[in-house]
A and B are shown apart, each in its own frame.
Chain A
Amino acid sequence: MALIVDTKSALLQGLLQGEAYGLELIERVKSRTNGTVLLLQGRVYPALRELEAEGLVRSREGEPIPERGGRPRRYYELTALGRRTALQERKTVIALFNPVAVS
């Protein structure tokens, strides 16, 4: 069953592992969640651009690649604010689902 996870949150958590480009991030999230969280390719890029506009990630262009018709990859990495936000989000979610808190 596919889980309901916000695209932006999933991307932030994926970027905690290090710099990546869009397609790589989708695969990273998929493999980390054993295929339960599947990010839609069409939704990922606007989310990444929004995160960049919010100052949570920064991007840089890579080298042009023939398989992409000579287009360069765009690599994203977390800014200091983005890292703090991602870690805070992780703590919050863990606390939310903590069974101790329920009892």
Chain B
Amino acid sequence: MTNSINWTEMFVVLLCVLVVMARTLWIRGRVKVPKVYSPSRPFRILGEIRGNLNDPQGREAVSRELFRRRDCPGEVHLAQIGKERVLLFDGGSELTNVARLIIALTFHRLKESTCKERAYNVLNVWAAFLPARISQEDLGDYLEDIDRRLQRNDSPCIIYIRVAAAVFWTGVNTVSYFLKAIRQKSST
């Protein structure tokens, strides 16, 4: 009888568990997204940018920086205003610039908060399966890295790739952590 571990089987099982967990959390995250989102933060930012938009040069800069259209209810343009990536909503001529910006920033914040919420949800649930040391050290560093990337306005794709990497590596490290402990026990 052999005591050797079948790494391929272990890897496949781990991968299946991860896929099921990610799918469940993804669906849960989608359901939890509020339809109407109006926190105070977009309005504070609005105050900072409003001056630029009322200024003809500022408006020109915004329209120049519009670079891609998106399929959303109504017509929405993705734009870059300084370091901010915003979605500009074209609701017709009756909307003032300020109203458009409120909608734009709301879309932007909604998108950002959803991405962050999903990433943190997945990793916090995953942390329950990890030993305390790996959860605090490895996963903590991954969360810090993800937070920095969100601050830098990295694309959600990059964030999700980092989440997948965090889940994979912490999973691998947990398996090797337990195997090492078992080997140490059996040798003593």
Given A41-B165, A42-B169, A46-B176: A74 and B136 interface contact (C-beta under 8 Å): yes
Looking at the assembled complex, report how far the CB atom of A102 sits from the nearest CB atom of chain B, in whole angstroms.
39
Looking at the assembled complex, report how far the CB atom of B50 sits from the nearest CB atom of chain A, in whole angstroms.
30
Looking at the assembled complex, report how far the CB atom of A70 sits from the nearest CB atom of chain B, in whole angstroms.
9
Given A69-B123, A72-B136: A42 and B141 interface contact (C-beta under 8 Å): no
| List of A residues within 8 angstroms of B133 by Cβ | 49
Q: Chain B residues in contact with chain A, CB under 8 A?
A: 120, 123-124, 127, 133-145, 147, 165, 168-170, 172-173, 176-177
* A71 x B173 contact (CB < 8 A): no
Which of B137, B143, B165 gathers the greatest number of chain A CB atoms within 10 Å?
B137
* B144 x A45 contact (CB < 8 A): no
| List of A residues within 8 angstroms of B165 by Cβ | 41-42
Cβ 8 A contact of A45, one of B124, B147, B173: B173
| C-alpha gap A61/B140 in the complex (Å) | 12
| List of A residues within 8 angstroms of B137 by Cβ | 22, 45, 74
| C-alpha gap A103/B35 in the complex (Å) | 73
Cβ 8 A contact of A68, one of B140, B170, B172, B173: B140
Looking at the assembled complex, report how far the CB atom of A87 sits from the nearest CB atom of chain B, in whole angstroms.
26
